[in-house]
């Protein structure tokens, strides 16, 4: 490797900071060394460090709370040296800051960067469904997580249903809405307050991830998993294009957050039994659960 290129990932959680690693992929392909700084608290940095160990070396900086550092030339000059490339990777994927990543130089474009998966080498799928229902964001919680996990355990008995349950994230209490089931089936593992890296080891060996809009959903995307996103912004792409341009890898995985437990479980069962249905948008399959999929997809064998 030659020609060090410095990348600085800033001002976001796991999902946004993963954009830094996506840009790094294209730098690496041109035989250059991406030197990566991540400005984040330990709770966010250490999982990234774990996930990319052996692929990229990440350096931690204190978490920024605003963009004033962009105009702090002393700070910028401490990070870069003369004749080195230096880019600040915002988590919004729009490349509109003074140090925006020069994607044209690396023969790519915003759409390709956004959809690049950087953790395919970490995926070792087994018959495990990862249920990621933790969020601190208001109005992003599922209305009855206990019933959903219980129903999955009941209906998908050949799979382990792994569900980490956190009390706090980022110093904030997590609202789990209604956990109305105390007893779960033997194939359900409710993991109370695990270390995040320990739960990521479960994610790496999961074949399917059902999630809220949270950091785990983005990691699951990068692992290349079958993913079902319970989306609080479902159907709002036209009304809120800026949000979708920045933070949704794809709309294909999304269904409405208000979808019933029974419908979610039936969709997951269908995806598992007929994996070809995962080639379609989840919302389309959800609206046609009773279709003859052999006929609709023109199976020949």
Let me know: does 33 contact 5? Beta carbons within 8 Å. yes
Residue 287 has pLDDT above 60, yes or no: yes
Distance CA 23, CA 116 (A): 9
Task: Please write the tens of the pLDDT for every residue from 21-69.
Answer: 999 999 999 999 899 999 999 999 999 999 999 999 899 999 988 888 8
Per-residue pLDDT for 246 more than 70? yes
The predicted pLDDT at position 272 comes to: 98
Question: Residue 189: is its pLDDT beyond 70?
Answer: yes
Task: State percent of the chain over pLDDT 70.
Answer: 94
Q: Per residue in 10-38, is it b (16+ CB within 10 Å) or e — as a string?
A: bbbbbbbbbbbbbbbbbbbeeebbbbbbb
- When the pLDDT of each residue in the chain is averaged and rounded to a whole number, the result is 91
Instruction: Tell me the per-residue pLDDT of 254-286, one tens digit each, with 9 for 90 and over.
Output: 999 999 999 999 999 999 999 999 999 999 999
CA–CA gap between residue 177 and residue 131 (Å, rounded): 15
C-alpha to C-alpha distance for 264 and 210, rounded to whole angstroms? 9
Q: Where on the phi/psi map is residue 46: left (φ > 0), alpha (ψ -120 to 50), or beta? A: alpha
Rg of the chain over all Cα atoms, to the nearest angstrom: 20
- DSSP-derived pairing of the beta strands 172-173 and 168-169: antiparallel
Give the integer Cα–Cα distance in Å for 175 and 243. Answer: 24
Q: Could you read off the pLDDT of 70-80 as tens digits, one per residue? A: 888 888 888 87
pLDDT band at residue 181 using 50, 70 and 90 as cut-offs: low
Is-contact 33 1, C-beta < 8 A?
Answer: yes
DSSP-derived secondary structure for 59-74: EEEPPPSSSGGGG-HH
Average pLDDT over residues 290-294: 96
Closest CA to 220 of 129, 298, 95, 112: 129
Looking at residue 130, its pLDDT comes to: 98
pLDDT score, position 30: 93
Query: What is the number of residues in the chain?
Result: 301
What's the pLDDT score for residue 240? 79
* Percent of the chain predicted with pLDDT > 90: 69
Give every CB contact of residue 274 below 8 A, 6+ residues apart in sequence: 293
CB 234 within 8 A of CB 254: yes
Domains defined for the chain, CATH in brackets: 2-115 (3.40.50), 120-296 (3.40.50.2000)
pLDDT score recorded for residue 97: 87
Which pLDDT value is given to residue 1? 55
């Amino acid at each position: 490797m030659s020609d060090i290129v410095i990348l600085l990932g800033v001002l976001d959680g796991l999902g946004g900071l993963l954009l830094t690693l996506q840009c790094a992929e294209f730098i690496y392909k041109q035989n250059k060394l991406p030197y990566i700084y991540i400005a984040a608290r330990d709770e966010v940095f250490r999982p990234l460090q774990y996930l990319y160990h052996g692929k990229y070396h990440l350096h931690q900086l204190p978490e920024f709370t605003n963009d004033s550092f962009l105009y702090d030339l002393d700070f910028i000059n401490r990070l870069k040296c003369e004749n080195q490339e230096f880019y600040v990777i915002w988590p919004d994927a729009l490349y509109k800051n003074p140090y925006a990543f020069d994607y044209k130089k690396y023969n790519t474009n915003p759409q390709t960067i956004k959809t690049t998966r950087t953790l395919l080498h970490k995926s070792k799928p087994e018959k495990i469904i990862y249920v990621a229902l933790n969020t601190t964001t208001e109005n992003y919680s599922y209305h009855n997580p206990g019933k959903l996990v219980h129903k999955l355990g009941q209906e998908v008995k050949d799979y382990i249903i792994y569900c980490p349950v956190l009390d706090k994230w980022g110093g904030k209490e997590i609202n789990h809405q209604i956990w109305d089931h105390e007893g779960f089936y033997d194939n359900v593992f409710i993991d109370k307050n695990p270390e995040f890296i320990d739960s990521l080891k479960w994610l790496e060996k999961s074949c399917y991830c059902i999630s809220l809009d949270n950091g785990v959903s983005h990691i699951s995307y990068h692992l290349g998993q079958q993913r079902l996103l319970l989306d609080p912004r479902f159907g709002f792409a036209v009304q809120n294009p800026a949000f979708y341009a920045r933070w949704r890898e794809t709309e294909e995985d999304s269904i409405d957050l208000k979808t019933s437990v029974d419908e979610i479980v039936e969709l997951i069962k269908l995806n598992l039994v007929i994996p070809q249905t995962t080639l379609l948008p989840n919302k389309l399959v959800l609206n046609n659960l009773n279709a003859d999929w052999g006929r609709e997809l023109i199976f020949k064998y």
